Copies of this chain bind each other. A is one copy, B any other.
Amino acid sequence: MTEPSLIKIQNLSGSMSQRVYQSLRDAILSMQYPPGTLIRKGAICEQLGVSRSPVSEALAKLSSEGLVDVIPQSATKVSCFSMDEIREASFLRQALEIAAVEKVALERTTEQLAALTRNVRMQRLLVEDEDFAGFYEADEEFHTLLMNFTGFDGVSHVLDSVSLHLTRARMLVLPEQGRPIEAVKEHEAILLAIKEQDATAARKAMKYHLELLVPRILPLEETHAEYFKV
């Protein structure tokens, strides 16, 4: 019970490696394993009751995604933030979401528009009820819906994989007065542009919306210096 940090047990699906991967990934993204944490294969094996093979595979995958840094023959630790990486992730995210919203604006069906409208209405209600956890989920769903409405199955996952560092950093930035209602308004602007099938307006609204994240992360380099690269 006094373990420094817990990992979800295996009521997950898929192969052993995948379950270990999901478990570790979740621990890292949720900041239960904060940046810099040393990862010991042996400890993981013991905790999860599996051998080193699936753990190695999981770590290899996390390494290729940049969530862990592996120092050859020596150690592997949860990767630290760097402003360069965060800016890069933000650039990539913008590139993808802007391309997506342009395409969706031009090609959306009335059903898709209805789904987005429903989601945004829900966002407003959740914020008015001050259910910020619920809003966070709805926010994520809004962007996921957009990705899926491009008609390409994989873009959502690609976005996730390039946004990993942003997702993690956002956990530290969550509480900010008055931000959620602003975010809702920005979503409404995006929605309006999609409704009117105005690709240019959609692009601008999305760009404005996404550009606000990095400035909110910047102060972290001071306030959470221990999470950043030397």
Residues of A within 8 A of B (CB): 15, 17, 56-57, 60-61, 64, 72, 84-85, 87-88, 91-92, 94-96, 98-100, 103, 150, 152-155, 158, 162
**Are B162 and A84 in touch, CB under 8 angstroms?**
no
Closest residue of chain B to A17 (Cβ to Cβ) is B60
Known contacts A88-B155, A95-B100; 14 additional CB pairs below 8 A are: A60-B60, A64-B64, A84-B152, A84-B153, A85-B154, A87-B152, A88-B153, A91-B99, A91-B152, A91-B155, A92-B155, A95-B95, A95-B98, A95-B99
Query: Which of A56, A60, A153: most chain B Cβ within 10 A?
Result: A60
Q: How far is the CA of A94 from the CA of B88 in the complex (A)?
A: 17
Given contacts A60-B60, A72-B15, A95-B98, contact A88 B152 (CB under 8 A): yes
Closest Cβ of chain B to A42, distance in Å, is 18
Residues of B within 8 A of A85 (CB): 154
Closest Cβ of chain B to A211, distance in Å, is 13
Given contacts A60-B60, A158-B162, A162-B158, contact A94 B99 (CB under 8 A): yes
Q: How far is the CA of A197 from the CA of B150 in the complex (A)?
A: 30
Residues of B within 8 A of A99 (CB): 91-92, 94-95, 98-99
7 A-B pairs closest in CB distance: A95-B99, A88-B152, A95-B95, A95-B96, A88-B154, A57-B60, A91-B152
Query: Which of A91, A94, A103, A150: most chain B Cβ within 10 A?
Result: A91
Interchain residue pairs with CB less than 8 A apart (19): A15-B72, A17-B60, A56-B57, A57-B60, A60-B61, A61-B64, A64-B64, A84-B153, A87-B152, A88-B154, A91-B99, A91-B152, A92-B96, A92-B158, A94-B99, A95-B95, A95-B96, A95-B100, A99-B99
Residues of B within 8 A of A57 (CB): 56-57, 60
Closest Cβ of chain B to A153, distance in Å, is 7
Residues of B within 8 A of A96 (CB): 92, 95-96
**Are B150 and A91 in touch, CB under 8 angstroms?**
yes
